[in-house]
Structure 1
Amino acid sequence: MVDKNSLRAAFSERLHEALNDAGVRSRGRGVDIHRQLKTLGVEKTTQAISKWLNGESMAEADSMSALCSWLKVRREWLEYGVLPKKRTAESNICQLKINDESNVREVDQRFGKVPLISWVQAGAWCEAISNFESYDADCWLSCPVAISTHGYALRVLGDSMTNPGPGRSYPTGCIIFVDPEAETKTGDRVIARLSRTNEATFKVLVEDAGRQFLKPINPQYPIIDITEETHICGKVVGSFIPE
């Protein structure tokens, strides 16, 4: 399951760090944030802001963008802990290293949010695409890449996708973004639901002698045959490792 308290506490620590860097006073910070956000057109109660500072909740999309603009930090750092911290001169466009086909791409910071769900939920997601838009998740993340409205995020568990050598790797704790509407092909990282379990699994889609398999990056784990009962739930379109 997602550790929501850890995400909120980490966000609070980074928010305080950014406020310290900006020279914002320690006492009365909630009032100062409220005043500054109001000048940027974002109306938030002091109670809501207090919860950010105390690690009880995370700022919503509009507030997050306003905080980053005011404190001159990158949204990926403030929300996720992805370095570097400071914004470049190009305030609306940033460069973010993403483990996808392009490795590094320019992305607009205004992508929508997707729910961070469990692996059991991801297995059910394969059959419930019609209910995606109304899904009520406890934690929503801003996706740094283009993704369909039915996209979602997962936190990697275990080391089957950890590369013991050089190359692309997805260690435990890594966040991956999944697009169930993206077309998949051989070599893609995919989420699949196996016939023997209700949970989803994260593997590389490979083909050999006309047959398809699910291959882990870590060679210590077995390759899985794809059968008629195997369901490909989506393509992994991006990832990042939280600080």
Structure 2
Amino acid sequence: MCEVSPRAAIKWLNGDSIPGHEKIMTLSERLQVREEWLAYGRGPMELSKVSDTSAAYEATPAGDGQTAPNTRPADQPASYYRYPVIGYGQAGGWTECVIPYAPGAEPHLEATDYQAKGHAFWLEIKGDSMTAPPGATPTIPEGTLVLIDPGVEAAPGKLVVAQVDDSNEATFKKLVEDGGQRFLKALNPAYPVIAINGNCRIVGVAVEAKTRL
């Protein structure tokens, strides 16, 4: 079904490893179950969608002293997707084939309407290196949840999670290029720019951010 070896399939069944995103997608489609249920055992097993409530909205007619409303409910997305929230240490070891969970571990999942191209994850930002000066945008303060998609191309100007060879943890920075040389740049100018030259692996690209109030 997924063109894998019996040994790999046994590891999946024993909980020693988790299939990569492409194989999860294939399995869920063939078995007609939700990707989140298959990968993490969370939520309903059956495929389901959030209904679109926009068609059910009807404006109240004006008359008898009543005023027609000038607002309407926001259109709801057709589907929601949930991705795990992980730390900087786990993000450094994140690949399409290896998902760094201990056997039996159940990661916290955060929902979004974004359908990832790769095996996406949420990263909760620590520190102030991505807090831009007042008035500058974007700014990613501490505590922000950032959705990282490994399937998106890491082009200059994108915000990325990267693993530098001499570090035990991943870092979240802006990827910039100057004269053919690439750098990892913090949005906070108080932090130094990191030159990368074959000593860095881009884990994924930021595609969404949200802050808990």
Q: TM-score range by the shorter chain?
A: 0.5 to 0.7
Query: Quick one: which of 112, 127, 135 aligns to 1:158?
Result: 127
2:184 is aligned to 214
Gaps of 5+ in 2: 1-41, 54-70
Q: Write the deviation string for residues 155-177 of structure 1: whole angstroms up to 9, x where unpaired.
A: 00000000122121100000000
Q: 1:88 to 1:122 in 2, by over 3 A?
A: farther
The structure with the greater share of residues assigned to helix is 1
More off after superposition, 130-139 vs 220-229? 130-139
TM-score (norm 2): 0.62
Query: Contact between 2:90 and 2:100, CA under 8 Å: does it hold in 1?
Result: no
What is the aligned-residue identity percentage? 31
1:190 aligns with 2:157: no
2:115 is aligned to 146
Q: Write the deviation string for residues 92-123 of structure 1: whole angstroms up to 9, x where unpaired.
A: 52xxxxxxxxxxxxxx2623110000110000
Q: Distance in 1 between matches of 2:171 and 2:100?
A: 23
Q: Superposition RMSD on alpha carbons, in Å? A: 2.8
Q: Distance in 2 between matches of 1:204 and 1:241?
A: 19
Task: Report 1:1-243 matches (<5 A).
Answer: 60=43, 88-90=72-74, 92-93=75-76, 108=77, 110-125=79-94, 128-132=95-99, 136-166=105-135, 167-243=137-213
2:26 is aligned to none
Q: 1:201 to 1:109 in 2, by over 3 A?
A: farther
State the secondary structure of the residue aligned to 1:131.
coil
State the secondary structure of the residue aligned to 1:129.
coil
Query: Contact between 2:96 and 2:118, CA under 8 Å: does it hold in 1?
Result: no
Structure 1 counterpart of 2:96, one-letter code: I
Q: Write the deviation string for residues 65-117 of structure 1: whole angstroms up to 9, x where unpaired.
A: 98xx8xxxxxxxxxxxxxxxxx9524x52xxxxxxxxxxxxxx2623110000
State the secondary structure of the residue aligned to 2:98.
helix
Query: Contact between 2:91 and 2:169, CA under 8 Å: does it hold in 1?
Result: yes
Query: Contact between 2:185 and 2:193, CA under 8 Å: does it hold in 1?
Result: yes
State the secondary structure of the residue aligned to 2:79.
coil
TM-score (norm 1): 0.54
Q: Distance in 1 between matches of 2:150 and 2:143?
A: 21
Q: Distance in 2 between matches of 1:211 and 1:149?
A: 26
Query: Contact between 1:177 and 1:238, CA under 8 Å: does it hold in 2?
Result: yes
Query: Contact between 1:143 and 1:177, CA under 8 Å: does it hold in 2?
Result: no
State the secondary structure of the residue aligned to 1:122.
helix
Gaps of 5+ in 1: 1-58, 70-86, 94-107
Shift of 1:227: 2.1
Q: Write the deviation string for residues 105-163 of structure 1: whole angstroms up to 9, x where unpaired.
A: xxx262311000011000010xx421349985420011232313500000000000001
Q: Distance in 2 between matches of 1:61 and 1:215?
A: 41
Structure 2 counterpart of 1:131, one-letter code: V
Q: Write the deviation string for residues 177-224 of structure 1: whole angstroms up to 9, x where unpaired.
A: 000111111100000001111210000000111100000000000000
Aligned length: 147
1:27 is aligned to none
